[in-house]
Amino acid sequence: MEARFSKKEFVALMAALMTVDVLAIDIMLPALPQIGNALGVTNPNDRSLVFTAFLLGFGLPQLIFGPIADRFGRRRVILGGLLAYCAATIVAVVAPNFAVMLALRFLQGAAAAAVRVGMMSAVRDRYAGRGHGRGDVDRSLDLSPCADYLPVDRPAPAARLAMAIDLRLHGNRCADFRGLDAGSPA
């Protein structure tokens, strides 16, 4: 049985799914120094490998997930990607060392790629050939990465969220997040 969504529900669902990869980057950005300290990273430049691992995991597997989504369906790919993403995220919180964290970030990226490929395929399936010109669908999908960069101030709310849930952050060491005040006197 195939679920039918109204246009508003479908757009809201696709917008929510589009945030999976964005959230994975934005939530880590302000916490990099603390993550590096907690995992014993001695070279400050090595902290950026957290993003490199995620982006490699996000970029390369997209070539694989397209045919998988065609064969097994968009829904299965999206749900499998979300499940893998959540599992990798939960395990990454308790990563014993930096190498494990990098492997989990690669898996997060691959899972986010599955979600993105399934989501883009679902949009194309729904709107291509149904009174919408093929070019209109292509243009709307081409513009969707622009949403990844708006708003520009996302790291500040991500820092507040990281402070609120204390992701391996201790005390007021997170006060250096882009000049945010973590409750310490100025």
- DSSP, residue by residue, 77-96: HHHHHHHHHHHHHHHHHT-S
Q: Which residue has the higher pLDDT, 143 or 86?
A: 86
Contacts of 104 (CB under 8 A, 6+ apart): 88, 91, 92, 95
Predicted pLDDT at 171: 40
Mean pLDDT, the chain, rounded, equals 75
Q: Which of 134, 165, 143 is nearest to 15 (CA)?
A: 143
Element (H, E) at 59: helix 49-59
Lowest mean pLDDT among 35-49, 57-71, 171-185: 171-185
Q: Is residue 22 part of a domain?
A: no
Q: Is residue 11 part of a domain?
A: no
Q: Is residue 44 part of a domain?
A: yes
Q: Which of 24, 175, 157, 159 is nearest to 101 (CA)?
A: 24
Banded pLDDT at 87 (limits 50, 70, 90): very high
Report pLDDT digits (tens) over 22-59: 877 887 888 888 888 889 899 989 999 999 999 999 99
Domain span including residue 117: 32-149
Q: Is residue 63 part of a domain?
A: yes
- In degrees, rounded to 5, the angle at the alpha carbon of residue 1 between the alpha carbons of residues 3 and 128 is 50
Q: Which residue has the higher pLDDT, 138 or 80?
A: 80
Q: Is residue 156 part of a domain?
A: no
Mapping DSSP to helix (H, G, I), strand (E, B) and coil, where does residue 125 land? helix
Residue 131 has pLDDT above 70, yes or no: no
> What average pLDDT does the segment 8-22 reach?
80
Residue 73 has pLDDT above 80, yes or no: yes
* Terminal-to-terminal C-alpha distance of the chain: 59
Distance CA 105, CA 180 (A): 26
Residue 84 has pLDDT above 80, yes or no: yes
Predicted pLDDT at 156: 57
Q: Which of 163, 124, 129 is nearest to 180 (CA)?
A: 163
Q: Is residue 74 part of a domain?
A: yes
Distance CA 90, CA 94 (A): 7
Query: How many domains does the chain fold into?
Result: 1
Q: Is residue 182 part of a domain?
A: no
Share of the chain above pLDDT 90, in %: 35
Distance CA 10, CA 167 (A): 32
Q: Is residue 10 part of a domain?
A: no
Predicted pLDDT at 100: 95
Report pLDDT digits (tens) over 89-122: 999 989 999 999 999 999 999 999 999 999 888 8
Q: Which of 139, 130, 140, 122 is nearest to 65 (CA)?
A: 122
Mapping DSSP to helix (H, G, I), strand (E, B) and coil, where does residue 40 land? coil
